[in-house]
Structure 1
């Protein structure tokens, strides 16, 4: 077992010493390699979206276990949970008035559990909430997303309000994890259950992004045309990619920590 660990440590040390541009290049190459692999082994790419929702559900289950068994919400961002509830509520509204399907039921379940987590942090476990560390203001993400939704939204036949709400939930979902990353940046030490939860979000974001990218490739770009015209189709794809890269750095250190046998994740300065 020692040689593989030494090899992984050697590779991680080499990557850590590289300048930011090289790290970004390596991240892009790794992402493209993963997409090629997924395209080869997953024939029905719709399964990637189902897998993304399943991984997200696993992350929420880990979070619920932490709150119920450990009786603490230390290291969790209430603001990230509130932003998640906002975009889920917006997406549910759009599902009911635009295209009701099985994903609507999944979103309802996710929203219900998210509201339960918010309730636990706000009331039951308030004493362990790190309010001073959770200092990323809501309006830093809500206002820009709302403005962007007014400017760039779907060009479908639905009512203009519904189209703007749809765009808003897409943009907000892409950046809703930022307050959670700020909490981890402020504490520098991430306990296991919080790390598992955020890693699950990262995996779910990547699978969702892979679903969209591969669907676009399979349809030879026709999927983007089906979403409408103008900037909106490109913004949907960009939002998926942004979600993935926001969490990429954390996922790298998470995997490095797991292979190193560390139970507590310690983040160096500048991460997330």
Structure 2
């Protein structure tokens, strides 16, 4: 076990010493290798979506434990939770009027828990909320997402307004975690339960991205054409990829911290 930890530590140390361009290249290669592995190991790629939802549920469970047992919301971004509630609400509306399926039920459950988290932060645990650190201006993401949705949205036969809403929630989901990352950047120290929650988000979004990418490969691109034409299909895929890479840096330091035996995650300057 010690040899294994030393080997991992040596690899992590080597990666850390590399320039940013090399790190970016290694991240891309690692992502492609992981996708190739999943493609050959997981035969039913739809199960990746189920796995993503399961991991997300684990993350939410950790969050619920933190709020109910630890009685503190320190380290949690209220703004990220509000953005999550916003895109889930819009997506639920789209699901009801456009494509009612299992996603609707899953999103309903996630929205209920997210609203509960918001309630706990705003009212029950307000004294422990780091409002001064949670200083990301959410209009920096809401407004661009709305404008982008007006310009690039599905070209299906659905109602025009509904198509814009659909695009808006897809774009907003991709960047909804930014306030949480900003808060962690401001504090530089991330306590365990918050770190577990954000790491679970990272894994869930990677699995969701893998699901989309592998579905596109399996259908030889027909899935993208089924979504419409123009810029919308590649933008959907790009949104999934952006979600994954936004959290990639944090996940790297999380894994490094775990293997280093550190209970509290300390982020160096410039991370996230």
Scaled to the shorter chain, the TM-score interval is: over 0.9
Match of 2:30 in 1: 30
Alpha-carbon displacement from aligned partner over 1:4-26 (angstroms, at most 9, x marks no partner): 11111111111111111000000
Asked whether 1:239 is paired with 2:243, we answer: no
Alpha-carbon displacement from aligned partner over 1:148-185 (angstroms, at most 9, x marks no partner): 00000000000100000000000000000000000000
Match of 2:85 in 1: 85
Q: How many residues align?
A: 272
Match of 1:120 in 2: 120
Runs of 4+ in 1 over 4 A off after TM superposition: none
Match of 2:220 in 1: 220
Match of 2:208 in 1: 208
Looking at structure 2, the residues matched to 271 and 8 of structure 1 have their Cα atoms a distance apart, in angstroms, of: 21
Looking at structure 2, the residues matched to 42 and 7 of structure 1 have their Cα atoms a distance apart, in angstroms, of: 28
Alpha-carbon displacement from aligned partner over 1:115-134 (angstroms, at most 9, x marks no partner): 00000000000000000000
Unaligned runs of 5+ in 2: none
Alpha-carbon displacement from aligned partner over 1:61-104 (angstroms, at most 9, x marks no partner): 10000000000000000000000000000000000000101110
Alpha-carbon displacement from aligned partner over 1:193-252 (angstroms, at most 9, x marks no partner): 000000000000000000000000011111110000000000000000000000000000
Match of 2:195 in 1: 195
Unaligned runs of 5+ in 1: none
Match of 1:178 in 2: 178
CA RMSD in angstroms comes to 0.5
Looking at structure 2, the residues matched to 106 and 214 of structure 1 have their Cα atoms a distance apart, in angstroms, of: 22
Pairwise mapping of residues 134-145 of structure 1 onto structure 2 (< 5 A)?
A: 134-145=134-145
Match of 2:13 in 1: 13
* TM-score between the two structures when normalised by the length of structure 2: 0.99
Match of 1:53 in 2: 53
Match of 1:72 in 2: 72
* TM-score between the two structures when normalised by the length of structure 1: 0.99
